C-alpha cells in the first residue's frame, strides 16, 4: 500500500529535501508538507501544504484525519545551539511534538512514525572514537537531553503499545538547498558560503574539533531506507547510530583549497565549542548496516565539490 505522508517541519533543512524526495518517490498528492510558516517555492508548489504548529495536538490530529495520513515524519525541533538559549521552549517543542505523534499511533490514527535523533544524545563521558550503538549516555545539552528522553519514549511506545516508530541519530548534516537552523555543526555549511562570497571564514569551532558528518543526499537515502525496511528488520527501536565521515575544520579547509587555493580560515570559538567538545569524533553504525543495509556514498572530497558547484550556480 502506498503511504499517505505528513511531514511536520517540512520547511527546515532536512524537511524541505525530504518532502521533495518523498513526493518524487510516492507522488506529489501522497505527501502533505506542514510547518509553522510557508517554505520555498518548489516545496509550496509541488504539493499540498498546511500551516501546522508541532506543539498543537488537536491541529495535528485534525490534519491527520483530513488527509487520511498513514505515516508521519516529525522533523520539527529546536537544535543544539538555539536550545541552549531557550531551554524551556526547546524541551516543550522537542518533547510535546513527539508525544502528540506517538499518541496518534498508539490510538491507531496513524501507522508509522519517523523521528530523528542525533549524535547529541552522547555526552562528555561517552567513548569518543567509534562510539557504539549502546554505550554511556550522559548528554549535557538541552537538545541532547530531549533527544535521549525521546529515544527512550520511542522504545517504550514500541514495546508497550506496538507503535511502529523508526529513528536515526543523524550526524551533522551538510546541504546547500535550505539553511540549517541553530546547530553546532552548521559551521560546515557556513564555511562553503563564505569561501565563495569572501574567500575567508571565521570559524566558531577550534581547528581540531572533529565531528561526525554526512551529506544531505545520504541522510535522505537513510531516512527513506529505514522507513521502507520490513518491520521485523528494525531491531533498534530507540534510535540507530548512523555514520558517513568525520572531519575537523582544518580538514574541510584543505578540501576547499583544492578549489579555491587562496581560501583562508581563522578561529574564534564561542559557546558552541563547549557543545562540540561533548560529542563523539566518530560513530560505529554496524547495526544500521546489518539491519537495513545502510551504506554511505559521499566522502569529504565529493561533498566539497558538490557543495561548491551547487552554491556557485545559485549566484
Ligand atoms: N546538527 C545538530 C546540531 O548541531 C546535531 O544533531 O545541533
Ligand 1 centre to CA of 182 (Å) is 8
Find the domain containing 290 and state its range.
173-213+244-314
Ligand 1 centre to CA of 241 (Å) is 14
pLDDT, residue 108, reads: 98
- What is the rounded distance in angstroms from the CA atom of residue 132 to the CA atom of residue 293? 17
pLDDT, residue 181, reads: 81
Of 197, 226, 241, which marks where a domain is finished? 241
pLDDT, residue 112, reads: 98
Q: Are residues 73 and 32 in the same domain?
A: yes
Ligand 1 pocket test target in 183, 190, 271, 273 with most atoms within 8 Å of CB = 183
pLDDT, residue 1, reads: 85
Who's near 183: CB < 8 A, 6+ residues apart?
79, 80, 81, 172
Residue 5 near residue 26, CB atoms below 8 Å: yes
Q: Are residues 190 and 248 in the same domain?
A: yes
Q: Are residues 118 and 203 in the same domain?
A: no
Q: Are residues 168 and 28 in the same domain?
A: yes
Q: Identify the residues whose C-beta falls under 6 Å from ligand 1.
A: 79-80, 118-120, 143, 170, 172, 183-185
Q: Are residues 209 and 249 in the same domain?
A: yes
| Length reported for the chain | 315
Q: Are residues 74 and 219 in the same domain?
A: yes
Q: Are residues 100 and 228 in the same domain?
A: yes
Of 189, 223, 241, which marks where a domain is finished? 241
Q: Are residues 138 and 232 in the same domain?
A: yes
Residue owning grid cell 555526552: 123
Please choose, from the candidates 209, 301, 299, 210, the residue with its C-alpha nearest in 3D space to the C-alpha of residue 257. Answer: 301
pLDDT, residue 243, reads: 98
Atom of ligand 1 nearest to the CA of 186: 4
Ligand 1 centre to CA of 62 (Å) is 31
Q: Are residues 161 and 138 in the same domain?
A: yes
| pTM, 2 dp | 0.97
User: Over its length of 315 residues, how does the chain's per-residue pLDDT go in tens digits?
Assistant: 899 999 999 999 999 999 999 999 999 999 999 999 999 999 999 999 999 999 999 999 999 999 999 999 999 999 999 999 999 999 999 999 999 999 999 999 999 999 999 999 999 999 999 999 999 999 999 999 999 999 999 999 999 999 999 999 999 999 999 988 899 999 999 999 999 999 999 999 999 999 999 999 999 999 999 999 999 999 999 999 999 999 999 999 999 999 999 999 999 999 999 999 999 999 999 999 999 999 999 999 999 999 999 999 987
For residue 266, give the CATH number of its domain.
3.90.25.10
Ligand 1 centre to CA of 80 (Å) is 6
Of 199, 223, 241, which marks where a domain is finished? 241
Q: Are residues 164 and 60 in the same domain?
A: yes
Q: Are residues 184 and 77 in the same domain?
A: no
Q: Are residues 12 and 158 in the same domain?
A: yes
Nearest CA to ligand 1 atom 2: 183
3-state secondary structure the chain: CCCCEEEECCCCHHHHHHHHHHHHHHCHHHEEEEECCCCCHHHHHCCCEEECCCCCHHHHHHHHHHCCCCEEEECCCCCHHHHHHCHHHHHHHHHHHHHHHHHHHHCCCCCEEECCEEHHHCCCCCCCCCECCCCCCCCCCHHHHHHHHHHHHHHHHHHHHCCEEECEEECEEECCCCCCCCCCCCHHHHHHHHHHHHCEEEECCCCCCCEEEEEHHHHHHHHHHHHHCCHHHCCCCCCEECCCEEECHHHHHHHHHCCCCCCEEEECCCHHHHHHCCCCCCECCHHHHHHHCCCCCCCHHHHHHHHHHHHHHHC
Count of the separate structural domains present in the chain: 2
Nearest CA to ligand 1 atom 3: 183
- What is the rounded distance in angstroms from the CA atom of residue 280 to the CA atom of residue 209? 10
For residue 112, give the CATH number of its domain.
3.40.50.720
Amino acid at each position: 500500500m502506498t503511504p499517505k505522508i505528513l511531514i511536520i517541519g517540512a520547511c527546515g533543512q532536512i524537511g524541505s529535501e525530504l518532502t521533495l524526495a518523498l513526493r518524487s518517490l510516492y507522488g506529489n498528492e501522497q505527501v502533505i508538507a506542514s510547518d509553522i510558516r510557508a517554505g520555498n517555492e518548489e516545496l509550496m508548489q509541488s504539493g499540498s501544504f498546511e500551516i501546522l504548529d508541532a506543539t498543537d495536538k488537536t491541529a495535528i490530529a485534525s490534519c491527520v484525519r483530513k488527509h487520511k495520513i498513514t505515516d508521519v515524519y516529525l522533523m520539527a525541533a529546536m537544535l543544539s545551539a538555539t536550545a541552549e538559549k531557550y531551554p524551556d521552549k526547546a524541551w516543550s517543542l522537542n518533547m510535546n511534538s513527539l508525544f502528540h505523534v506517538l499518541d496518534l499511533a498508539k490510538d491507531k490514527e496513524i501507522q508509522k512514525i519517523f523521528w530523528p535523533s542525533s549524535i547529541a544524545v552522547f555526552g562528555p563521558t561517552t567513548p569518543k572514537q567509534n562510539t557504539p550503538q549502546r554505550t554511556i549516555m550522559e548528554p549535557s545539552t538541552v537538545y541532547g537531553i530531549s533527544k535521549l528522553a525521546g529515544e527512550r519514549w520511542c522504545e517504550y511506545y514500541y514495546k508497550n503499545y506496538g507503535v511502529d516508530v523508526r529513528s536515526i541519530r543523524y550526524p551533522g548534516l551538510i546541504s546547500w538547498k535550505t539553511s540549517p537552523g541553530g546547530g553546532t555543526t552548521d559551521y560546515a555549511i557556513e564555511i562553503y558560503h563564505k569561501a565563495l562570497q569572501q574567500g575567508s571564514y571565521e570559524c566558531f569551532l577550534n581547528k581540531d574539533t572533529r565531528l561526525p558528518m554526512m551529506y544531505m543526499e545520504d541522510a535522505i537515502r537513510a531516512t527513506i531506507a529505514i522507513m521502507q525496511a520490513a518491520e521485523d528488520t528494525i531491531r533498534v527501536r530507540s534510535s540507530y547510530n548512523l555514520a558517513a565521515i568525520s572531519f575537523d575544520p582544518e580538514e574541510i579547509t584543505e578540501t576547499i583549497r583544492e578549489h579555491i587555493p587562496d581560501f583562508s580560515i581563522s578561529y574564534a570559538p564561542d559557546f558552541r565549542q563547549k557543545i562540540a567538545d561533548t560529542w563523539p569524533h566518530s560513530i560505529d553504525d554496524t547495526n544500521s548496516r546489518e539491519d537495513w543495509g545502510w551504506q554511505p556514498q559521499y566522502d569529504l572530497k565529493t561533498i566539497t565539490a558538490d557543495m561548491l558547484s551547487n552554491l556557485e550556480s545559485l549566484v
